Amino acid sequence: MSWLARGDTDQPLEPPSEFIIKVQDINDNPPQFVEGPYRASVPEMSQVGTSVTRVTATDADDPVYGNSAKLVYSILEGQPYFSIDPNTAIIKIALHGMDREMREEYLVVIQAKDMGGHMGGLSGTTTVTVTLTDVNDNPPKFSKSKQNFVIPEDLGIGKPGGKVKANDRDIGENAKSTYNIIDGDERDVFEITTDAQTQEGILRLKKPLNFETKKSYTLKVEAANIRFDPNSGAPFKDTATVKIAVEDSDEPPVFSKPTFVLQVDENAPINTVVGTVTARDPDVTGSLVRYFIDRHTDLERQFNVNVDDGKITLAKPLDRETDMWHNITVTATEIRNHSQISRAIVAIRVLDINDNAPEFATEYEAFLCENGKPGQVIQTVSAVDKDDPIQGHYFEYRLIPEMLNNPNFTIKNNGDNSISVLAKHDTFRRQKQEMYFLPIIVTDNGNPPMSSTNTLTIRVCGCSREGIVQSCNVEAYVLPIGLSMGALIAILACIILLLVIVVLFVTLRRHKNKPLIIKDDEDVRENIIRYDDEGGGEEDTEAFDIATLQNPDGINGYLPRKDIKPDLQFMPRQSGGPNGVDVDEFINVRLHEADNDPTAPPYDSIQIYGYEGRGSIAGSLSSLETASSDSDQNYDYLREWGPRFRRLGELYSVGESDKET
């Protein structure tokens, strides 16, 4: 827009004008593939003209003005396999029979040129990577049409005996195959399975092989694809012939039966033949067989087996009531090869014989009310029998002959192998007889019949009017009400205990007050006590005290023996003792201690007592501790002691005169 204005007034001289300026486009921008490079896939063996993918290019020039933005597409690389529509840019298959197994990937270069593809136009390029996807167009194929295997006859059931494989050029699911035996396995001895990882067919045994029966097998094995197009008409499978040679092996003996069932009577004597087991060596060489019993299955050693012919005999008596069945294991071993061992189970049934007498089902104890009525059922009795006859049990009950005419009880058969014991009268009294014993004979129906005598204990009890037992003891009937037998026993025990305590107390009192040994009445009146020890003189008139023999001066110390010098000190004795101790017992104790004194010499010696009386003016009469000899003693003073020592003085005086003479 523009305008002109007056200089002095600044007013427009004419109205404003508008101008439109249009910029004309030129071809200065090449086409560009914004989304490139591209990747695409197409199934192999696709028909010509099959669309693969579409590419798109853009041009920044004006599509309205001229041909600057008009694009034309073409293939620079990738022919003759692919083609492209110049206008729509759709890439298609251009060659028939493109096989993935021959070539899987192709690189296609696409060009986009503006100006309608004419000379002087600008261009741009991109790449398209085309991958051929797999289709199942190849069948499985065995590398060898004939394959051979050698399988030992002792191969275990389910163990692999060989492997076959059919190769498939396809990949993935299209290459997976299954294997089947389509011919040559009439006995159904083999089976073939497919290994999902390796795509191999694994040949396994379904039944044991036997070289002696059949030495070889010829099988026809087929491998077929799991996925295939039925309309393709191609046979997506292949077959191969598998020859199997059975190799002979040293086999263990084979029993005629895996399990033997035998039976024997329970009273059969020792060495009775229970039955026979047989086994043979299936090998061509035919080794001899020896038989043994696995003693882990016959810990009691009830049976033996003949090592040569397999006869099983009885080694110990059998008891059906203890064990009805015996299950043992018999082994068969080749003599030529002891490692070849086979086993068979032998079940031995012990047949029953009638060797047990029937007896009461339990230890019955019946109660009879004093106020019962005649014909009252006292007890229902049944019996049991350890035997198990085929025809079942039937028991016959009867009283022993001595009790058939007893006036108190009778029995009645209930028809179900039990009886009822009935009372004959109502005059039973506890004071007269508290308990009755009724022997009953029970006999079974075996051959021969067995019987036993069982005793039913019947107690007479006091009952209420309703027949409820209240007391069955005579004592409870005669004692006052409220004082039980337990209380009476407790009272009696207390009385006996008190009597024992009183007797012990009296005995101890008598022993304590027992007087000292007295020679005669005259000694008591003169108050003279005789003992084998030196007295204390005339003033020593006290009653005898055992402490005189216990060294009261050394009561707190130990006086050693003075006749020898001990090498080691003996533990001092406890001095003192209770009054009233018997002197004879006391001296025996001291004698025992002296005999066991380790410091004592091995010869008799004098036991010295350091105390010889108190208060005597004469002093000691003993010369044992006197330092001087007998010749230094003067015994004239004995005459001054009175008439009692006169005789003693004369004896010593005579002794001195004899020495002088």
Domains belonging to the chain, first-starting first, are 32-133 (2.60.40.60), 141-247 (2.60.40.60), 254-351 (2.60.40.60), 359-471 (2.60.40.60)
- CA atoms of 248 and 210, how far apart (whole Å): 8
Share of the chain above pLDDT 70, in %: 78
Share of the chain above pLDDT 90, in %: 31
Determine the average pLDDT of the residues in 348-362: 87
The amino acid occupying position 505 is: F
- pLDDT at 19 (0 to 100): 87
Determine the average pLDDT of the residues in 603-630: 53
pLDDT digits over 488-522, tens only? 788 999 999 999 999 998 888 887 665 555 444 44
Between β-strands 38-43 and 123-133, what pairing exists: parallel, antiparallel or unpaired? parallel
Determine the average pLDDT of the residues in 594-607: 63
Tokens representing 463 are 């009952």
- pLDDT at 614 (0 to 100): 56
8 A C-beta contact, residue 346 and residue 305: no
Q: Is 183 left (phi over 0), alpha (psi -120 to 50) or beta?
A: beta
DSSP 57-82: -B--S-SSSTTTT--EEEEEESTTTE
pLDDT digits over 330-342, tens only? 999 988 888 889 9
For 512, the 3-state DSSP assignment is helix
DSSP 111-167: EEESGGG-TT--EEEEEEEEEEEP-S-S--EES-SEEEEEEETTPPTT-EEEEE-EE
pLDDT digits over 69-112, tens only? 889 999 999 989 999 999 999 999 999 989 998 999 999 999 99
- CA atoms of 190 and 208, how far apart (whole Å): 9
For 504, the 3-state DSSP assignment is helix
Kindly report the pTM of this predicted structure. 0.42
- CA atoms of 284 and 273, how far apart (whole Å): 32
Residue 547 has pLDDT above 70, yes or no: no
Q: How many CA atoms lie within 13 A of 577 on its CB side?
A: 18
pLDDT digits over 196-255, tens only? 888 899 999 998 888 878 889 999 999 998 887 665 556 788 999 999 998 888 788 989
- pLDDT at 605 (0 to 100): 53
pLDDT digits over 430-462, tens only? 888 888 899 999 998 888 888 999 999 989 888
- pLDDT at 508 (0 to 100): 86
pLDDT digits over 639-660, tens only? 777 777 777 777 776 655 554 4
Longest dimension (CA), the chain: 213
Tokens representing 607 are 């036991």
8 A C-beta contact, residue 136 and residue 237: no
pLDDT digits over 575-592, tens only? 444 455 577 888 888 888
557 confidence band (pLDDT: 50, 70, 90):
very low
8 A C-beta contact, residue 437 and residue 456: yes
DSSP 191-233: EEEE-TTT--EEEEESS---TTT--EEEEEEEEEESS--GGG-
- pLDDT at 310 (0 to 100): 93
pLDDT digits over 107-145, tens only? 999 999 988 878 878 899 999 999 999 888 888 999 888
- CA atoms of 50 and 91, how far apart (whole Å): 9
Determine the average pLDDT of the residues in 301-326: 92
Mean pLDDT score of the chain: 80
